[in-house]
């Protein structure tokens, strides 16, 4: 720690952990062949001196040995995070609580370094002494400002002879707020606008959901087209929709994915109260909770580049 950062009282509290040793912590089980065999299975690693007693006896080891990298396994507390009777109960991670309290709530394991004095044999029961080996100055990392904390475990056999060490370095950091700029993404497909459909897109730009209406017989139609399907008149005008209706049908799209959309993507066939149906994205509800017949209402949002689309969200109105 540099003198400058050591001024804050809580930094002094932090550095006071360095070098303080706790222990001994005892092992639940001795080094044992079943755990070695399972470890070798997990890593698909068959080395005769670990798993084959006869071959091990004939090897330079003269008998079964445990993989060196299993060293910390023999002192793991287990799922209940408890220690065998007789163990020191000092919390080896107490320094973490200080960092959490000060807002360094993010955690990232960075690296581990192990040393081995000799091979371990089934039947040996280890113990360990734990300590905080080092705390860095505050560093500005890509994750945010944080401290690197190095934990040290020193392992001993029953004769109190050192058999190895494990150093684990962890970064505790203050998570940074997401950057203000939206990440770049592919734009969604742009609408095909022609003289029959331009009114619809222009209406959306103005915040209105317009429906085409036959000027001769008054029949509403959507999607827009040049002629009335009822009376074949080519004359038409538009009426603004209330944007309210019900979900006539819907799908939740998972695949294929277009890079311009988020998935799963619920898309509805909405029956507007005016009587026409239109296809539109659904919003405001988890994909699993949409149901046909639900009341929905339009929200007009820019979603396709400069264009606006009506999205439909659940509505409280009957
Ligand atoms: Zn008509």
8-state DSSP, 255? S
Using the mean position of ligand 1's atoms as its centre, give its distance from the Cα of residue 63 in Å: 95
- Quickly state the pLDDT bin for 2 (edges 50, 70, 90): low
| Average pLDDT of the chain, as a whole number | 90
Using the mean position of ligand 1's atoms as its centre, give its distance from the Cα of residue 234 in Å: 8
Give tens-digit pLDDT for 255-295.
888 887 888 999 999 999 999 999 999 999 998 899 999 99
What CA–CA distance (Å, rounded) separates 207 from 205?
5
- Asked if residue 303 has pLDDT above 80, the reply is no
pTM to 2 decimal places: 0.55
Using the mean position of ligand 1's atoms as its centre, give its distance from the Cα of residue 73 in Å: 80
Alpha carbon dihedral 112, 116, 122, 125, in 10-degree steps, equals: -80
The three-state secondary structure class of 88 is coil
Using the mean position of ligand 1's atoms as its centre, give its distance from the Cα of residue 235 in Å: 8
Using the mean position of ligand 1's atoms as its centre, give its distance from the Cα of residue 179 in Å: 53
Give tens-digit pLDDT for 42-54.
888 888 999 999 9
Using the mean position of ligand 1's atoms as its centre, give its distance from the Cα of residue 215 in Å: 7
Using the mean position of ligand 1's atoms as its centre, give its distance from the Cα of residue 202 in Å: 23
Using the mean position of ligand 1's atoms as its centre, give its distance from the Cα of residue 209 in Å: 20
Cα–Cα distances in angstroms (integers) from residue 133 to residues 18, 45, 127, 267, in the given order:
6, 32, 18, 56
Query: Which residues fall within 8 angstroms of residue 248, CB to CB, at 6 or more apart?
Result: 268, 269, 270, 271, 277, 292
Using the mean position of ligand 1's atoms as its centre, give its distance from the Cα of residue 269 in Å: 24
Using the mean position of ligand 1's atoms as its centre, give its distance from the Cα of residue 262 in Å: 39
What CA–CA distance (Å, rounded) separates 42 from 36?
10
What CA–CA distance (Å, rounded) separates 81 from 94?
15
Using the mean position of ligand 1's atoms as its centre, give its distance from the Cα of residue 207 in Å: 26
Using the mean position of ligand 1's atoms as its centre, give its distance from the Cα of residue 92 in Å: 81
| List of domains in the chain | 3-28+85-173 (3.10.129.10), 198-314 (2.40.50.840)
What CA–CA distance (Å, rounded) separates 285 from 140?
38
Using the mean position of ligand 1's atoms as its centre, give its distance from the Cα of residue 224 in Å: 13
Using the mean position of ligand 1's atoms as its centre, give its distance from the Cα of residue 34 in Å: 83
């Amino acid at each position: 720690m540099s003198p400058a950062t050591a001024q804050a009282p809580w930094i002094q509290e932090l550095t006071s952990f360095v070098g303080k040793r706790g222990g001994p912590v005892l092992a639940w089980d001795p080094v044992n062949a079943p755990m070695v065999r399972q470890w070798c299975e997990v890593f698909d690693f068959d080395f005769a001196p670990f798993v084959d007693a006869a071959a091990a006896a004939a090897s330079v080891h003269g008998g079964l040995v445990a993989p060196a990298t299993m060293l910390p396994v023999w002192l793991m507390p287990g799922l209940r995070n408890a220690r065998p009777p007789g163990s020191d109960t000092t919390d080896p991670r107490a320094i973490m609580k200080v960092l959490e309290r000060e807002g360094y709530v993010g955690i990232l394991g960075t690296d581990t370094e192990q040393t081995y004095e000799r091979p371990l044999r089934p039947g040996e029961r280890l113990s360990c002494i734990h300590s905080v080996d080092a705390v860095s100055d505050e560093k500005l990392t890509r994750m945010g400002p944080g401290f690197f904390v190095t934990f040290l475990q020193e392992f001993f056999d029953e004769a109190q002879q050192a058999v190895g060490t494990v150093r684990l370095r962890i970064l505790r950091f203050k998570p940074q707020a997401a950057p203000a700029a939206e990440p770049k993404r592919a734009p969604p497909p742009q609408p095909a606008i022609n003289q029959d459909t331009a009114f619809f897109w222009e209406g959306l730009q103005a915040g209105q959901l317009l429906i085409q209406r036959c000027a001769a017989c008054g029949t509403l139609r959507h999607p827009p087209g040049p002629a009335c399907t009822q009376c074949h008149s080519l004359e038409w005008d538009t009426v603004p929709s209330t944007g309210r209706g019900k979900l006539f049908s819907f799908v939740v799209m998972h695949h294929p994915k277009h890079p311009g959309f988020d998935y799963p993507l619920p898309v509805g066939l909405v029956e507007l109260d005016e009587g026409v149906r239109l296809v539109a994205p659904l919003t405001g509800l988890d994909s699993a909770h949409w149901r046909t017949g639900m009341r929905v209402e339009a929200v007009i949002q820019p979603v396709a580049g400069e264009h606006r689309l009506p999205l439909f969200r659940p509505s409280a109105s009957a």
